[in-house]
Amino acid sequence: MNTSVRPAAVAGMFYPESRAVLGRDVMQMLARARQEQVLRPKAIIVPHAGYIYSGPVAASIYAPLSALRDTIKRIVLLGPTHRVALNGLALPASKAFSTPLGIVPVDQQAVAAIADLPQIIVSEAAHALEHSLEVQLPFLQTVFGDFSLLPLAVGQASPESVAEVLERVWGGEETLIVVSSDLSHYLPYAAAREIDAQTAQHILALDSTIDHQQACGATPVNGLLLAARRHRLLARQLDLRNSGDTAGDKARVVGYGAFAFLEAEHDAH
C-alpha cells in the first residue's frame, strides 16, 4: 500500500477516460477561457463538478497560469470529502496519483512537514473515491507539466487548523495552493445567482465564516481565507457562473466560482 499509486476513480464519469479525448478537451477549455494578463497567485479556488458543467469555470483560472509552467513545482491541493466522514485533514497512503494523462508524485517532503500535526491523519479510504481533488489533476498536469502534489482530503476541521497546515507548506513562488469547492447546490437559477454573489463577496473580503450551504468546500475555503488575511493577500474573482450557464437546466443548479489570491505586488489591477 505505501508504494501504491492511487488510480483514477472518476475518469469516464466526471471527465473523459481516454487520454487523447481528455487532453483535447482540457486544451480546448483552456483555449476558450478568457485570457487575463499573466496571473501569479499564491492560491486559487476552483470548482470540481463534471467537466461539462464546471470545466469552463475552472479553465478561466487555469488558463492565465500557463506562464508559470516553469515556476510552479508543488501543488498543495485541498478539497472536501464527499464519501468518507472524517475528522481533520487526510493524507493518502499512496505515493502518487494517476490520471489518464499520467502519474503525479506525492510530495514526501511536504508530507513530512505536516505529519506531526494532530489534525493530520492518513486515510487511503478518504482519497479512494474522492472526486474533489482528482478532477483538478488533468488541468494541473496540462498547465504545469511536472510537479509534486500534497493532496489533502478535508473533513471536519476548524479554519484555524486548516490554516495551520497551510502555513507549514506555504513555501515560495514554487508552491501554489489550490482549494477545490463548488458553491450553492440545487437551487433555482435566480436564487443561486443571488446567493453565490453574496458568497463571492465574502471570499473577496477574506471573510472566513462561509458555511456549507454556500460552498461544499467551506472548511478548506475558510482555512485559506484565514491564511490569506494573515498574509495580506488580495482576492480577485475571475469567474462566477453555475450549471445553468454551462450545460444544465435552470431548475436546480450548482454554483461555481474561480478566485485568485495574490500578493500585492502581483495584483494586476
Tens of pLDDT, residue by residue over 112-128, are 999 999 999 999 999 99
- Domains, the chain, ordered by start: 5-266 (3.40.830.10)
What would the mean pLDDT of 122-140 be, rounded to a whole number?
Answer: 96
Rounded distance between C-alpha atoms, residue 253 and residue 249, angstroms: 7
- The per-residue pLDDT of the chain, averaged, comes to 94
Is pLDDT above 60 for 267? no
Q: What is the mean pLDDT of residues 218-228?
A: 98
Tens digit of each residue's pLDDT (9 = 90 or more) over 241-254: 999 999 979 999 99
Residue bearing the bigger pLDDT, 143 or 37? 143
Give the pLDDT confidence of 69-116 residue by residue, as tens digits: 999 999 999 999 998 989 999 999 999 999 999 999 999 999 999 999
Instruction: Check pLDDT > 90 for residue 266.
Output: no
Q: Which of 22-36, 54-68, 175-189 has the lowest mean pLDDT?
A: 22-36
Q: Is the pLDDT of residue 34 over 80?
A: no
* Cα radius of gyration rounded to whole Å, the chain: 17
What share of the chain in percent tops pLDDT 90? Answer: 92
Name the band, by pLDDT with cuts 50, 70 and 90, for residue 36.
low
Instruction: Render pLDDT for 152-199 as a digit per residue (tens, 0 to 9).
Output: 999 999 999 999 999 999 999 999 999 999 999 999 999 999 999 999
Q: How confident is the model at residue 269 (pLDDT cuts 50, 70, 90)?
A: very low
